[in-house]
Structure 1
Amino acid sequence: MAHIVPGSGWSTPFVRWQGAFAELHSLEFAAWTAQRALARREIPLDALDFGVLGFTVPQKGSFYGLPFVTGTMGAAHIAGPSVMQACATSARCLALAAEEVASGRAGAALVLAADRVSNGPHIYYPSPGGPGGTGRAEDWVLDNFAGDPFARVAMVETAENVARKHGVTREEQDDVTLMRYHQYADAIAEDRAFHRRFMDLPFEAPDPRFRKVMGEIEGDAGVQPANEDKLRSLRPVIEGGTVTYGGQTHPADGNAGLVVADRERARELAPDARYDIALLGFGQARVEPAYMPEAPVPASRAALDAAGLSIGDIDAVKSHNPFAVNDIVFARETGFPLERMNNYGCSLVWGHPQGPTGLRAMIELIEELAARGGGRGLFQGCAAGDSAMAVVLEVTER
């Protein structure tokens, strides 16, 4: 069984796209953050012998993936794969690291996830055989937001399809959105006390050449305060629909990381010696085309089956919920109460840099369980292609 090293998890603040991180190369930024975060946690780079990198938006030189990042951060001895699985990237990275440790092929694995949705690449695909030799072009971020090339729908249409199928009303979506903003308020209370459990705040933001600190960021940037009257007055994104811009997440930039090892090695490296964090099960699922927000339900059931548990054994649930619809359907299908999900916030509120979104959510889940003295947690989240992944973990006091 693989364990997460207690206290090893970190995340940058998430910044709404075209904000303070918009000109930072996402992989070099991940290296900058990881080097500093591991030093603060007194985890030596030479203790790590494997790595996994997750990202979904290409950057210059990202062909070299994980070795590029570990070399840049001063750990050129670490090799490993790079993963791109849309919004399920973080869960897949964690699964790969866990498998490597459980098999004995790695002693301590670094898991990193990073993305910059801002200033996404504009790609030209040459086609000498095309009319006049003209190729094809793609705006990596915007074109893929706008349409699934297989299902032939925009992501917001998948939410409308699921809302229609399950009879989810606009009022229910607004209610859940307001609830999630109130839960996020708990995380930033008392000078961001919950976020300080895993964020190094105020966060020192580098210049685009990563040579010096340009300024400090107090926390997540671009989160709009909840205004019930404004939320309920918004028009649906699609005429005649139910999903508004208030009931869905916003693109963001950032990165996150943690370390996976076996139980004894995790205890040796742990910055926080009070807990053990076991990875109990992973699950993946895909549903019918154009119904993406349904996918976390079967993925969660698969993860629970792998762990030998039921939803009744779970103390806390954290979701990547790009739409409020996701949480409503999950609660209906599993029976887990809406109000017990996503304590301290979720991606619906703090944004979606894609690759690292799930990793931050899982770090928050661990901290929530640690704050309550331990327990079992479930992370679940949908991903492009009408798919999803889920992770079951357990935090126990030593």
Structure 2
Amino acid sequence: MSSPTDIVFLAATRTPMGGMLGGLAGLTAPELAAAAIRAAIERSGIEASAIDEGIMGCVLPGGVKQGPARQAMRQAGIPDASGATTINKLCGSGMKAAMLAHDLIRAGSGEVILAGGMESMSNAPHVLTKARVGYRLGHGELKDHMFLDGLEDAETGKLMGVFAQDIADARGYTRERLDDFAIASLERAMAATEAGHLNAEMAPVTVTHRKGESVIEHDEQPFQARLDKIRELRPAFAKDGTITAANASSISDGASALILSSAAAADKLGAKPLARMLGHSTHSQHPSEFTIAPVGAIDKLLKKLGWSVADVDLFEINEAFAVVTLLAMDGLNIPHSKVNVYGGACAQGHPIGSTGSRIIATLIHALRTQGKKRGIASL
């Protein structure tokens, strides 16, 4: 039974995901976020002025200019009186934004909160870290903001893919199994797109170029992939490794937006909720074991809600690497038929600041499309 104090979603949208230097590369992260936010406001049926605060994830803010969340909200028509906060919890940024929105509403600090995330990985700049004090003798080093602040471990400098490969080796995940999963993800993503199952979450993006304007309505990468080449790709992170560009997520551009409120506020505004947020949990591991973290987070949430895996209709578990999702499936005995039913990041991409809220949007609409009731999203 619903209650006036329930926390509900009034909208859940996301832009298509563009490939590295692809069709969305001409837009900044805030511009992408503005497209998702505008669609969320329109579909929620509320006025932009009803939003008390926006919390938006962004992992690569270098060169984006001051206040990415504020930029996005202003471009989407949200009044300056509404608060705007940009957060960075790496790949979990968009989901953490939704968690914070839930807690702010529960605490009475706001009635309607925007949560989401954005990333234009294509536009991440290269950085001269010592330019301010000067380069004296010898060669200087140009650093990639995307790697330095997004994809590399701060202490060791190792790419997250190296850690994923280490776990895949330690747990015995074969190249065949990882590729099988990636192929299934790609097939699901293409089938979902062709069937129109992603339309409810999608916020088309208009791109201006020399020849005029074009509208991007679908994820770029699934239909550019070559299924027949996946098993032939070279290892990405170790000479004889099992992780490749295909069974890992790709560098991408995109944004997503969620609007949350109390059920009482939704009723007052005349808005129709899409879903309820019943709870959330956080579980952390050492950075080198980030691949295992979803297992602990999902297990903690199941116990908190008094559910079993069998009680959950659908799961969205981010495919940063295929091994991450497989570890969760194996660790919790979740059947593949319940997981990422419309494909995932191996096929569609992983704009790191956005994915946490993107998978919530996908989960909400998948549950509604399939007539299901309960879902869990994790990364």
> Is TM-score (shorter-chain normalized) higher than 0.5?
yes
Match of 1:231 in 2: 230
Match of 1:256 in 2: 256
Is 2:355 the counterpart of 1:357?
yes
Match of 1:166 in 2: 171
1:50-88 alpha-carbon deviations (Å, 9 max, x no partner): 211111111546432433332333321210421111100
SS of residue matched to 1:207: strand
Cα distance in 1, alignment partners of residues 329 and 64 from structure 2: 42
Per the alignment, do residues 82 and 143 of structure 1 end up closer, same or farther by CA in structure 2, a change over 3 Å counting?
closer
Per the alignment, do residues 92 and 172 of structure 1 end up closer, same or farther by CA in structure 2, a change over 3 Å counting?
same
- 8 A contact 1:147–1:155 mirrored in 2: yes
Is 2:371 the counterpart of 1:373?
yes
CA apart distance, 1:36: 4.9
Match of 1:123 in 2: 127
- 8 A contact 2:63–2:124 mirrored in 1: no
CA apart distance, 1:340: 2.1
* 1:11-26 equivalences in 2 (<5 Å): 11-26=14-29
Equivalenced residue count is: 372
Equivalent in 155, 158, 172 of residue 153 of structure 1: 158
Per the alignment, do residues 370 and 241 of structure 1 end up closer, same or farther by CA in structure 2, a change over 3 Å counting?
same
Is 2:364 the counterpart of 1:348?
no
- 8 A contact 2:248–2:322 mirrored in 1: yes
Cα distance in 1, alignment partners of residues 101 and 137 from structure 2: 44
Cα distance in 2, alignment partners of residues 126 and 302 from structure 1: 44
- 8 A contact 2:16–2:254 mirrored in 1: yes
1:294-342 alpha-carbon deviations (Å, 9 max, x no partner): 1111121222233332323211110111111112211111011123210
Equivalent in 183, 188, 194 of residue 183 of structure 1: 188
CA apart distance, 1:128: 7.1
* 1:54-203 equivalences in 2 (<5 Å): 54-60=57-63, 62-75=65-78, 76-126=80-130, 132=136, 138-144=143-149, 147-190=152-195, 193-200=196-203, 203=204
SS of residue matched to 2:119: strand
SS of residue matched to 1:20: coil
Per the alignment, do residues 58 and 342 of structure 1 end up closer, same or farther by CA in structure 2, a change over 3 Å counting?
same
Q: Which amino acid aligns with 1:250?
A: S
Greater shift, 52-61 or 139-148, is seen at 139-148
Match of 2:289 in 1: 291
SS of residue matched to 1:291: helix
SS of residue matched to 1:286: coil
1:142-195 alpha-carbon deviations (Å, 9 max, x no partner): 3456631224422211111111121111111111112112221331123xx111
Match of 1:214 in 2: 213
Per the alignment, do residues 114 and 332 of structure 1 end up closer, same or farther by CA in structure 2, a change over 3 Å counting?
same
1:245-271 alpha-carbon deviations (Å, 9 max, x no partner): 111111111111121000122345576
Q: Which amino acid aligns with 1:314?
A: V
Per the alignment, do residues 328 and 40 of structure 1 end up closer, same or farther by CA in structure 2, a change over 3 Å counting?
closer
Greater shift, 178-187 or 24-33, is seen at 24-33
CA apart distance, 1:40: 5.0
Q: Which amino acid aligns with 1:205?
A: T
Q: Which amino acid aligns with 1:361?
A: I
* 1:1-20 equivalences in 2 (<5 Å): 2-6=6-10, 8-20=11-23
- 8 A contact 2:56–2:69 mirrored in 1: yes
Match of 1:240 in 2: 240
- 8 A contact 1:5–1:270 mirrored in 2: no
Per the alignment, do residues 309 and 103 of structure 1 end up closer, same or farther by CA in structure 2, a change over 3 Å counting?
same
Match of 1:327 in 2: 325
Per the alignment, do residues 68 and 218 of structure 1 end up closer, same or farther by CA in structure 2, a change over 3 Å counting?
closer
Segments of 5+ residues of structure 2 without an aligned counterpart are: none
1:338-391 alpha-carbon deviations (Å, 9 max, x no partner): 23210011112100111111212111111111123331111111xxxxxxxxxx
- 8 A contact 1:3–1:266 mirrored in 2: no
Q: Which amino acid aligns with 1:218?
A: E
What is the root-mean-square deviation in Å for CA atoms of aligned residues? 2.7
1:86-116 alpha-carbon deviations (Å, 9 max, x no partner): 1000110001100110111101111131110
CA apart distance, 1:224: 4.3
- 8 A contact 1:16–1:223 mirrored in 2: no
- 8 A contact 1:3–1:276 mirrored in 2: no
SS of residue matched to 1:306: helix
Cα distance in 2, alignment partners of residues 144 and 107 from structure 1: 33
Q: Which amino acid aligns with 2:24?
A: F
